[in-house]
Structure 1
C-alpha cells in the first residue's frame, strides 16, 4: 500500500467520457468531469487507508479497511457497496450499485499511478504523476 501513498496529479485520461456515460453520469456532469483535473491524496496506516480526491469542482474522501465492504457515496452521487483489496501489488476497488459493477484498478507503472476503470466492455485509463 505504501507505494500508492502521496499526492498525485492527473497527467493523462483516455475514454473517460465513455466510462462516465457507462456508469450513468448525465451529460452536464460529464462535461464538468472531462474538464476537471483532480489531485488525489492517498494515505495509509496498516489496513486502514484514505483516498482524497480534490478539484476545483468537487472534493471527496473515502476511508476504508482493505477487504471490508462499505457504503460509498461516489463523486457522481451514486450509492455503491465498495470493497478495496490489494492484489499482486495492485489496489483494486469494486463498486456495486443498481445491479451494476465497476472495477477500478490502481497500479504503479514507471513512477506513475495508472487507474484502469472498467464497466462491462468500457475501459478508461487515467494516469497520475506524483506531485
Structure 2
C-alpha cells in the first residue's frame, strides 16, 4: 500500500533528468534550474486520500487525490495535466496526461530509498531519494 511511501524524502541522485525534461519540451534555462534543484518530496495519506508535496527553492506543488481517481494538476514546469495515483503491486505510480501525451512517474522502495523512474516517449530518468522522516497522515490545508 501507499503507506510504505509515507515519509519526507530528500533528493540525493539524478540520472538522465535533463534528457527527460528536454523530451517534455522544457526550455534550456528551466532545465538548468531543474537539474540544480534538490527537491524534497512529502508523501502522506489520511487513509482515503494521498497527498504528494514537492518542495524546492524553485517551486512548491501539492496534489491530493484518492487512488485511482483522476485529478487536475499543474506541474512544476507549468503543464496542465490530468493525473492519477495508483498502486501497481509495490509501486506507487503517478500518471500525467495532456495533449494526447503521457508520462509516468513510478516510485519504488529499494534498500530503504525511494527510487522514482520517469518515462516519456522512450526517455527514462531516475531520481533517488533518502528518507528524512516518517509520515503517516496529513491535515487538509497544512
TM-score by length of 2: 0.90
How far 1:11 moved relative to its partner? Answer: 0.7
Q: Secondary structure at the match of 2:87?
A: strand
The C-alpha deviation readout for 1:49-108, integer Å capped at 9, x for no partner, is 101111111111111110001111111100011111001011011111111110110010
RMSD: 0.8
What is residue 61 of structure 1 aligned with on the other side?
Answer: 62
TM-score of the aligned structures, taking structure 1 as reference length: 0.97
Distance 1:84 1:129 in 2: 21
**Which residue is 1:25 aligned to?**
26
Superposed counterparts of 1:87-126, under 5 Å: 87-126=88-127
Residue segments in structure 2 that go unaligned for 5+ positions in a row: 133-142
Greater than 3 Å deviation, 4+ residue runs: none
State the secondary structure of the residue aligned to 1:75.
Answer: coil
Tell me the matched-pair count.
Answer: 131
SS state of the match for residue 30, structure 1? helix
